[in-house]
Each structure stands twice: as C-alpha cells, then as structure tokens.
Amino acid sequence: MTRKKVIYGNWKMNQNLAEVRTFFNELSSFKPDWKCVAGIAPQFIHIPEVLSLAGSLNVKVGAQNASHKNNGAFTGDISPLSLTDMGVHFTLIGHSERRSIFKEDDELLNEKTKLALTHGLEVVFCIGETLEQRKSGNTFKVIETQLANGLKDLEKSSLKKIILAYEPVWAIGTGVTATPKQAGEVHTFIRNYLKEKTNFDSEETVILYGGSVKPDNVFELLSHEDIDGALVGGASLKARDFADLCNEASKF
Ligand code: 13P
C-alpha cells in the first residue's frame, strides 16, 4: 500500500523571528509544489507568525508539546484547546528531549495524547531506545513498553489520527543515522504491534523515522515500505534543505 510520504520539521528551541521570516521567504522563492505532506513545528511563540507564512505554501503547522489539561493553574503550559483555536494541525508528544530533560513519563504522555486527540489535533507520538538499550538487545522491548503505556486505552477512532515517530535517541542530533534496515525493522515491529495488540488496521498508520535525517539520506530511508516519512531536526532549519527533503519525499 502506498501512503503519502510526510516530512515534518521539529525546530526545537531554535530560530529567532528574523530567521523564521527568512526561512519562509526563501522557501516561497523555491515555488514548492510537493506531492508529500510537509509540516513545521516552531517554538510556541512563533506559531502565529508561522501560521500566516506557511499557509500559502501548503506547509502544516505543529506544536512541539501540548498540556495534559484543558485549562487551569498550570503555569507555563499550553492547552491543546489553545492550539486548535489557533489553527495548529499537529503536536509532537513524548519527544525524547521531553522524556529525558523534562522527565515526562509514560502516564503523563498517555494523558496528553488522549486529550490532544479528543480536540482533533493530530498527534505525532515519539518513541525510541537509547544506545545502551540497543546495545543490551532491548530495543523491541523498550518500543513495546512505550507503545503499550503511551497508547493505553486509546479508542480505535483515536488511533486513526495518530502518527508514530521512531526516533532512536542515539541518532538524534548525533550525525549517526539508523540504516534503513535498522529503522525499517522497528517500523515493521510498530505496525505489527498495532495490528496485533490493538486489533487496529495499521496499514494506514503513518510511521516517521527521526534521527540525523538529511537531504542526502532521506530517499534511502523512505524507500523502506514501512518508513512513511521523517521527523527532522537540524536539517529542517534551512529552507534549502527542507525543500530538498520534501523534493526527495515527493519522488514516491
Ligand atoms: P535531528 O534531525 O537534528 O537529529 O533531530 C531529530 C529530532 O529530534 C526530530 O524530532
């Protein structure tokens, strides 16, 4: 089955306002006409600006996180309701930096995921093992636990709106990319897990790979039948690279 390839950029805590504007100016000068689905998740504060710049380019806008609550005394948090209110299309949940630096655990991530989906946000649920876990042969066990806990009690109708992102921690920002075989076997495992454990027809589920994806390695990765796209950090910050990633993804 052919799923449309997806390129989502995660800008993390990068780009100032001038750089945001330059990025979209440059991107529009390339007259993008991609067949893939493209999206950018900027810092929260730049979301309104990015929404106004990205719309005409057919680039979806995402958040990098969303609260587990709708509103109330949660200083510093951003409600998923405010995100949909603004016109945000998707949110990342459970990025490894949220898990390790901000200590977000499976239970919290499960709450966040359920709430965001309730409000119609597309959730890009991120999972991945550390180098230590891979070396000790625990990759699939870690992935299975993250899936079981993170997607706990999700309705089938919600699973339909979820994108999974496999981002091995050892490949994030390191310049070391998983080989298509390494990434592909985990993607296949994820698809089969969904099929078997949730009884959900996961053939339609989009599963992204993230971790040192660049214009020159993205085609090979996306050539694997279970790798439906990429979640890109560093290489999504420059308009030329982002456009090249989308051009490659449009070849499928
Ligand atoms: P890099 O592409 O910079 O390795 O980052 C990957 C990532 O964390 C995307 O969410």
CATH of the domain at 193: 3.20.20.70
Q: What is the mean pLDDT of each run of 10 residues along the chain (252 residues)?
A: 86 98 96 92 98 94 98 98 98 98 98 96 98 98 97 88 97 96 97 88 92 98 97 98 97 94
Q: Name the residue among 174, 186, 162 with its Cα closest to residue 110.
A: 162
- Using the mean position of ligand 1's atoms as its centre, give its distance from the Cα of residue 80 in Å: 23
Question: pTM here?
Answer: 0.97
Which pLDDT score is estimated for 4? 87
What does the block give as tokens for 110?
């499960």
Ligand 1 atom nearest the C-alpha of 97 is 8
Catalytic annotation present for 167: yes
Catalytic annotation present for 97: no
- Residue 40 domain-assigned? yes
- Residue 1 domain-assigned? no
- Residue 45 domain-assigned? yes
Q: Choose, from 95, 122, 129, 187, the residue flagged as catalytic.
A: 95
Which pLDDT score is estimated for 2? 60
Which pLDDT score is estimated for 1? 53
From residue 146, alpha-carbon distances to 84, 136, 139, 151, 172 in Å are 26, 17, 11, 8, 18
* Residue list, ligand 1 pocket, CB within 6 Å: 10, 95, 167, 172-173, 210-213, 231-235
Beta strands in 46-191 (DSSP E): 59-63, 90-93, 122-127, 162-166
Mutate to test the pocket of ligand 1, among 164, 172, 213 (most ligand atoms within 8 A of CB): 172
Q: Which domain holds residue 195?
A: 6-249
Based on the structure, what is the number of domains in the chain?
1
- Residue 130 domain-assigned? yes
- Using the mean position of ligand 1's atoms as its centre, give its distance from the Cα of residue 211 in Å: 5
- Residue 116 domain-assigned? yes
Angstrom distance (rounded) from CA 41 to CA 92: 8
